[in-house]
Amino acid sequence: MIYATTGGSGENGQIAVLSLETGETKGLVSGGSHPRYASTGHIVYSVGGTLFAVGFDLDELEITSDPVPVLDGVDHKRSGATGFALSENGSLVYVSAVQRGVGRTLVWVDREGNEEVLAAKPRDYTYPRISPDGTRVALDVRDQEEDIWLWDFRRETLSRLTFEPDLDVYPTWTPDGLQIAFGVSHRSNMTLFRKAADGTGTSELLFESDGTLLPQTFTPDGTCLIVVEGLPDTGYDVQMRSMDANGAVEPLLATEFDELNAEISSDGHWLAYQSNASGQNEIYVRPFPNIDGGLFQISKGGGNSPLWAPDGREIFYLSPAGQLTAVSIATDPFTMGNPELVFKAAYFGGEERVNSLVLGRTYDISPDGKRFLVIKNSRPDEGDPPQLILVQNWLDELKRLVPVDN
């Protein structure tokens, strides 16, 4: 008998085989749920609503191939239960993924407030990050798959990048646009991984922590990653972690207060961040990497989630009301203007708030600095309803996707 164990959620479990004669069990695949044996010599199982398949030798009880994703968009529950079944005549039937939450749309907004809605279907988009060349955006999507996805602006396609069994969050591009770092949220801590932005290869572990690790931004030369580490005893602090083999950690901002949402200017000389040192969230700037060389408060009356303009002449942030605000900047010497609203509308500003702290940034700016990519809540009825879908002769497609020797 083939079955799945669970470890907190379905995708934290293990696919195993149980001998009904002896009661002995044998682990087959780590991470996955709802396994089904196919007469073609495969095991088909679910990882976060994506069906995977491996070859399986029924006589030797051995896996004979690497896992291969074979179908996206299947309805699943956090327990691991997934809505699909296989028939002996080669058919697949499954329930299409259900839109959870209200769903959100991606919208370009220029400085005059004019909106251009992207063609991407409403989903629970959370933290967008535009690629350095402006052709794609990496998206932290918090619905069924809870993974990192990529939207191609030119082709208008959405493709899944990560397939980790836990929640994948906070995508961060390397300066050359070839890789994406991201956090993987476990039940008690968070680790950082990176993966090739073209989807090839597997995810590579970068850093581990006993608490929360949030990737923020790379230094312009790509040699270091700025991260925020959150620990119960110390709160949130900003660090710089080397991307070389030793992974050296250099504390940047480690105080009794919470510092997070750190962003480096394009010239690599200034660090903007959010802190509650004054008793409320405000935006500050320090020289980088010599962070003790100065301190400048940018926001007035509160602010979170800072972002530098590509030319380094402005800092943007969200006001307490969720409105995008800009402050003009000069750096020789460092001076700043007064905060001014970029546009009056308030867009989606995030869900993750710990003790009034806003974690992450829910908007981004185009490389030319002329417009902003924001997230807009949709009406609850805008998502596609679930459907029961029958695919005939699907096992023939399965044999093509995952060849096995029968």
Q: Which domain holds residue 169?
A: 104-382
Q: Is residue 235 domain-resident?
A: yes
pLDDT at res. 20: 82
Q: Is residue 290 domain-resident?
A: yes
Asked if residue 253 and residue 140 are part of one domain, the reply reads yes
Mean pLDDT per segment of 10 residues, for the chain of length 406 residues? 52 76 84 89 89 91 91 78 90 80 86 95 94 97 87 96 88 98 82 95 92 93 96 90 92 94 97 95 97 96 96 96 95 95 89 67 96 83 69 93 84
CB 343 within 8 A of CB 294: no
pLDDT at res. 79: 60
pLDDT at res. 186: 76
pLDDT at res. 166: 82
pLDDT at res. 272: 98
CB 225 within 8 A of CB 205: no
Asked if residue 110 and residue 41 are part of one domain, the reply reads no
> What's the CATH number where 52 sits?
2.120.10.30
What are the b/e assignments for 4-23, b being 16+ CB within 10 Å? beeeebbbbbbbbbeeeeee
Asked if residue 33 and residue 174 are part of one domain, the reply reads no
| 80 Cβ contact partners less than 8 Å away, ≥ 6 residues apart | 4, 6, 9, 10, 11, 13, 33, 34, 46
Asked if residue 244 and residue 145 are part of one domain, the reply reads yes
pLDDT at res. 98: 60
pLDDT at res. 60: 87
Asked if residue 18 and residue 123 are part of one domain, the reply reads no
The string of DSSP letters for 42-92 reads: EEEEEETTEEEEEEEETTTTEE-S--EEEE--B-B-TTS-B-EEE-TTS-E
CA distance 386 to 74: 9
pLDDT at res. 350: 76
CA distance 30 to 379: 38
Q: Is residue 390 domain-resident?
A: yes
CB 362 within 8 A of CB 349: yes
Three-state SS string over 207-245 comes to: ECCCCEEEEEEECCCCCEEEEEEEECCCEEEEEEEECCC
Asked if residue 369 and residue 390 are part of one domain, the reply reads no
pLDDT at res. 7: 41
Asked if residue 333 and residue 284 are part of one domain, the reply reads yes
Asked if residue 167 and residue 62 are part of one domain, the reply reads no
pLDDT at res. 100: 52
**Beta-bridge mates of residue 233:** none
**Beta-bridge mates of residue 347:** none
Residue owning tokens 């682990």 = 27
Q: Is the dihedral of CA 266, 268, 273, 277 positive or negative?
A: negative
Asked if residue 116 and residue 83 are part of one domain, the reply reads no
CA distance 112 to 360: 25
Q: Is residue 327 domain-resident?
A: yes
Asked if residue 389 and residue 324 are part of one domain, the reply reads no
Task: Give, for 395, the enclosing helix (H) or strand (E).
Answer: helix 394-401
pTM for the whole structure: 0.71
Asked if residue 194 and residue 129 are part of one domain, the reply reads yes
Instruction: Give 256: exposed, middle or buried? Use CB within 10 Å, 0-12, 13-18, 19+.
Output: exposed
CA distance 374 to 110: 10
Q: How many domains would you assign to the chain?
A: 2
Asked if residue 328 and residue 245 are part of one domain, the reply reads yes
Q: Is residue 406 domain-resident?
A: no
